[in-house]
Chain A
Amino acid sequence: AQSVTQPDIHITVSEGASLELRCNYSYGATPYLFWYVQSPGQGLQLLLKYFSGDTLVQGIKGFEAEFKRSQSSFNLRKPSVHWSDAAEYFCAVGLYSSASKIIFGSGTRLSIRP
């Protein structure tokens, strides 16, 4: 069965430090891959997506992610975090089908230390 694993439930980093959030997926083919961010009390906003081509993708707010087929991973990175990056981050996999179904990981909550 398809699945998405985010092994870190909660991460705290200092403002200005670098960030990497991990995501692994299980799927028989190369899926569409996404990272979404959810600020408190808000819906989900798309940070970036990978469909094909260059395995390093750039997103909004200075985030990037790298698709590694051999590791079935799609980790999210940011070189220097800001206090406004505190939020919950979800990795997601889009499956090839007529309904374009999306499966989400359990999320990683990011806290920023001043």
Chain B
Amino acid sequence: DVKVTQSSRYLVKRTGEKVFLECVQDMDHENMFWYRQDPGLGLRLIYFSYDVKMKEKGDIPEGYSVSREKKERFSLILESASTNQTSMYLCASTRTGNTEAFFGQGTRLTVV
């Protein structure tokens, strides 16, 4: 059974903290994505990666960075968390040439 695993279901962080969200996939997929989900806005792409150490900005990269040191792992970093980054964060992966995405369960982040 294919799997995308996000390290935390729920996180509460303070304003100004550095926050790491981790995502691991076991399908040997080339591409990995971080989305942010907010009511009425659907899923918005923050960053994606098509290879180890490669990354591209999505639609809303401001305030975020990413790291992909190994093929199976893609990390989202909030350098200095702010309250407007309170949201649901979803990680996904795809195989190149087959854009069906597999999603993790999501991390609900609250910044106080």
Contacts and interface: CB of A to CB of B under 8 A. Distances in A.
A99 interface: yes
B105 A102 contact: no
A34 B100 CA distance: 8
Interface string A1-31: 0000010010000000000000000000000
Contacts, number: 66
Interface of B: 4, 31, 33, 35, 40-45, 48, 50, 56, 90, 92, 94-101, 103-106
Given A43-B104, A100-B97, 12 more contacts: A6-B42, A34-B100, A36-B103, A42-B106, A44-B90, A44-B103, A92-B101, A94-B101, A100-B31, A101-B33, A104-B35, A107-B42
Interface of A: 6, 9, 32, 34, 36, 42-46, 49, 90, 92, 94-95, 98-107
